């Protein structure tokens, strides 16, 4: 009986985790879709576009620096 209760509990726990991950996936996909739409609008404002490019270059440089440090 005890083993059955533990098994039932673990099944419910796993089902809850799956539901959470599914909801999280929907939220992340919505955020990605919203970001993609915003990026389409960025090209209409030259200053915002230039700042975005600068930020991405800085991010890329720091990422490369982190990878290089990890390799060494």
- Number of domains observed in the structure of the chain: 1
Q: Are 42 and 48 in contact (CB under 8 A)?
A: yes
Q: Are 42 and 52 in contact (CB under 8 A)?
A: yes
Quick one: average pLDDT of 25-40? 93
Quick one: average pLDDT of 26-44? 91
pLDDT score for 24: 97
Question: 42-59: b or e for each residue (b if 16 or more CB lie within 10 Å)?
Answer: eeeeeeeeeeeeeeeeee
Domain that holds residue 35: 2-71
Asked whether residue 11 carries a pLDDT value surpassing 90, the answer given is yes
pTM, two decimal places: 0.57
| Cβ-based neighbours of 43, under 8 Å, separated by 6 or more | 49
What are the Cα distances from residue 28, in Å, to 15, 24, 55, 57?
A: 20, 6, 22, 24
Q: Rounded mean pLDDT of the chain?
A: 85
């Amino acid at each position: 009986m005890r083993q059955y209760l533990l098994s039932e509990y673990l099944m419910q726990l796993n089902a809850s985790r799956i539901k959470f991950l599914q909801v999280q996936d929907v939220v992340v996909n919505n955020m990605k879709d919203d970001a993609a739409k915003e990026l389409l609008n960025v090209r209409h404002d030259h200053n915002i576009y230039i700042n975005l490019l600068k930020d991405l270059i800085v991010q890329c440089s720091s990422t490369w620096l982190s990878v290089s440090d990890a390799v060494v």
